[in-house]
Amino acid sequence: MPASRHPALDIAPVIADALATGRPVVALESTLISHGLPAPRNVEVALAAEAAVRAEGAVPATIAVRDGRLLVGLSRAEIETLAAARDVVKASRHNLAAALGRPGWAGTTVSATMIAAHLAGIQVLATGGIGGVHRGGSASMDVSADLDELARTPVLVVCAGPKSILDVRLTLEVLETRGVPVLGLATDELPGFFSRSSGLQLQIRVETPAEAAALARRHWGLGLTTGIVVAVPVPEPAALPRAEADAAIDRAIAEAEAAGIHGPAATPWVLARVAELTDGRSIAANVALIEHDASVAARIAVALAENDTT
């Protein structure tokens, strides 16, 4: 853990103890609770992700903002309170300071969670999918702050790839340009979020979480300060066929554009419409991959911690 704690951080005692004693910790973002999933599934999935981390021998630290404090490690009661809260801010790099200057809750995106994790001394984060370049982003410049955060903050992020409603090819290009390693875990192909494939080849493959941890240590040991993406395919029983997922996403995006839905409102609208078009199977895939990513992240955190003590 850093020698001096940032004054805005409130680290739960169980997390502080784990960090002080060198035990593995996995950060978990909270926008899936506040903005990503409907109640009561948001609470169920958040708790299942935490349970998956514990089952692999690591300590989960769900992160959020409340009343001007950056909370690292929510209790179950706090997760339930966040899930029921209204007017919750979606905190990213650009508005994290503003969120800390107001009362109430803010859910943290991948970028804000990476910032908090790094401030606390947590090296590994689990999420469903990272943000990226939106379709048409080469003209609109609609690009998620997650990509810049990965380019500057040394946290390893386990995910099922970029959210597939994005321009995934351009997202991968930006990550490569910014020097962010994208590792396929037991795959040569970038996962397609809802589906197991995207048609895009990866340059780096690792077979096990331990190999991912070893690569991360080599990367950071060179003085490189970027984050690292470990891309893990959604478990096969829950995966959508790629053609079906792509067709549903294309239709939902076309309908959103026809309805004039743009900006921050577009992503949740498109995801909700994809769920309708797939009879809820996209949500089932999302739930399965979040839990699976948490489990893989915990195994990587355990391998990093073991290396630190040898």
Domain assignment of residue 22, yes or no: yes
Gyration radius of the chain's alpha carbons: 18
The CA-based angle 11-51-71, given to 5 degrees, is 20
Domain assignment of residue 216, yes or no: yes
Domain assignment of residue 292, yes or no: yes
Domain assignment of residue 1, yes or no: no
Mean pLDDT computed over 284-298? 97
Domain assignment of residue 228, yes or no: yes
Give the CATH number, domain containing residue 293.
Answer: 3.40.1790.10
Residue 29 annotated in active site: yes
Closest CA to 219 of 308, 174, 303, 156: 156
* Structural domain span for residue 279: 9-308
Domain assignment of residue 132, yes or no: yes
Q: Please report, for residues 8, 88, 189, 262, 291, the alpha-carbon distance to residue 100 in angstroms, rounded to integers and kept in the order given.
A: 8, 12, 39, 26, 29
Q: Please report, for residues 32, 115, 168, 289, the alpha-carbon distance to residue 221 in angstroms, rounded to integers and kept in the order given.
A: 32, 20, 29, 30
Catalytic, out of 29, 50, 56, 78: 29
Residue 211 annotated in active site: no
pLDDT reported for residue 134 = 77
Domain assignment of residue 4, yes or no: no
Handedness of CA 65, 63, 286, 199 (dihedral sign): positive
Q: Give the count of domains, the chain.
A: 1
Q: Model confidence over 45-67: pLDDT tens digits?
A: 999 999 999 999 999 999 999 99
Domain assignment of residue 3, yes or no: no
Q: Model confidence over 172-230: pLDDT tens digits?
A: 999 999 999 999 999 999 999 999 999 999 999 999 999 999 999 999 999 999 999 99
Catalytic, out of 80, 163, 244, 306: 163
Q: Model confidence over 109-127: pLDDT tens digits?
A: 999 999 999 999 999 999 9
Q: Does the model's pTM come out above 0.75?
A: yes
